[in-house]
Structure 1
């Protein structure tokens, strides 16, 4: 990445949205990266430099994660996060994109496809969340208890970043100090992110239903790790059935964190995907 790389903040709905934007000197296609739960733009650190060779690239910190705001005034539903992405693209004057969403970011990408199909030329879903229901009522009610965010903080601390990474990465030798620090850092600043996560418990609706997914006509490439413990391959295969214009690729010896584990392979699949026709149905 060179002088075309910039960082920015966009204020929307009383919250600052952090994004990184690489403007390619000649490319016309723009790729938008949407990370997963408890993650940030950091999770695309190995994939983004590859994409920058051929595309304009925008990587967004979905609130309350990364360097984006964590205010409790924001509505942390998947639909509203999708609307935030849409408004950011409108702010930047971008009329058509390829969305690449990992885990929760994949579900946000699907919501964008559902809400604004004309905005999304293609979508790449990396171990995308799918078919999750809304949190159960007792948990939602508990989130209104004063200082409940401290319970959320203790729960995350008890699991630990290294344990979480070992759960999402198949090859544990990839886990080093840089990775540990990068995923831990956003949670060490203050308590605001835990307040945001508490609000997310109340705001987050369920994932798109099969009926809604079947209305999406955007060409979708699904890429999955065969050893994904967070979103099993069966979810990907089910999405393949409900998304009428889609195909699925399963990566061997790979876990959930595919942008970290297989960036070069994913990049090649994305390049090939850009050359496909509008229909992937076989």
Structure 2
């Protein structure tokens, strides 16, 4: 089977936190950083980025362990380490402050970043984000935690498993999982070191910081699908706004990019205006 997917097209790289982080950047204006979820890549926000880049400077990195950035030499896949990497990545790009948007794992990283570097985060958008201990695990993570399967998964993952995982991640009415999507996700997952990095990530002990979520002070928008369970960001983050999609799955930015982009675009002007006033007050 052939694919038109080109993993290097328009991708830039920069050194940050001991890694060559791969990313795409487009547009002008206040900066918005888009963070994909586990098993995904910067393509997870492709359409959302295209819509937002008309008015914003949109940056999409491939997170360590995924996409083109690939595995961390130190094999440290704690969420707080991811947040540190994104802080250093944006600093390397000379972006002092930004709005951070995260889907799934990317959302977990985003709210950790808002806790650890609130002076740099102008706003927070959580899209089916994770981080509460009662969150149910997707099938891929459960398999990667199986001690009998771990050695196999480090070396081999059939394309059929990639397709099955994608179909389980989308909503019941979604038709986005086609051959092109499966080929793209499978090709990036199969890049050197990524399968083993995913196993390392799945088996990393993640400290529970959910008790700190109530301390987040940056303006927050919560976007979630009605069927996504176990997350309470809108309840716990003071002043958070929430929007619920009635039939989306876990991959909202790919399933319903127009809905996601419109919600973010409505949220951003007030956030960036407040940020501008805060910076003027500090002078």
Asked if these proteins are the same fold (TM beyond 0.5), I'd say yes
- Asked if 2 retains the 8 angstrom alpha-carbon contact of 1:97 and 1:119, the reply is yes
Question: What corresponds to 2:199 in structure 1?
Answer: 198
Give the deviation of 1:58 after TM superposition.
0.3
Residue 239 of structure 1 aligns with which residue? 233
Deviation at 1:203, TM superposition (A): 3.8
Q: Secondary structure at the match of 1:117?
A: coil
Task: Give 3-state SS (helix, strand or coil) of 1:64's partner.
Answer: coil
Structure 1 residues 66-121: Cα deviation after superposition (integer angstroms, max 9, x where no partner): 00031442421111110010011111111111101000000000111000001111
Shift of 1:218: 0.9
| Aligned partners of 2:70 and 2:191 also within 8 Å | no
CA 1:69–1:151 in structure 2 vs 1: closer, same or farther (change >3 Å)? closer
Aligned residues: 255
Is the 1:102–1:125 Cα contact (8 Å) retained in structure 2?
A: yes
- Distance change in 2, residues 1:41/1:11 (3 Å): same
Q: Deviations over 1:40-66 (max 9, x none)?
A: 101111211101111000001111000
- Matched residues in 1 for 2:185 and 2:159: separation? 15
Give the structure 2 partner of residue 41 of structure 1.
Answer: 42
CA distance in 1 between partners of 2:54 and 2:257 (Å): 13
Is this contact kept in 1: 2:35–2:102, CA < 8 A?
Answer: yes
- Select which of 161, 175, 182 maps to 1:173: 175
For residues 12 and 93 of structure 1, the distance between their equivalents in structure 2, rounded to whole angstroms, comes to 12
CA RMSD of aligned residues (A): 2.7
Give the C-alpha shift of residue 6 in structure 1. Answer: 5.5
Q: CA deviation at 1:132?
A: 3.0
Q: Where does the alignment leave 5 or more consecutive residues of structure 2 unmatched?
A: 1-8, 136-140, 275-283
Separation in structure 2 between the aligned mates of residue 146 and residue 13 of structure 1, nearest angstrom = 33
Show the counterpart of 2:278. none
The runs of at least 4 consecutive aligned structure 1 residues that moved more than 3 Å come to 145-149, 151-154, 156-159, 201-204, 275-278
Structure 1 unmatched runs, 5+: none
Measure how far apart 1:205 and its partner are.
1.4
Tell me which residue corresponds to 1:86: 87
In structure 1, distance between residues paired with 2:247 and 2:150: 38
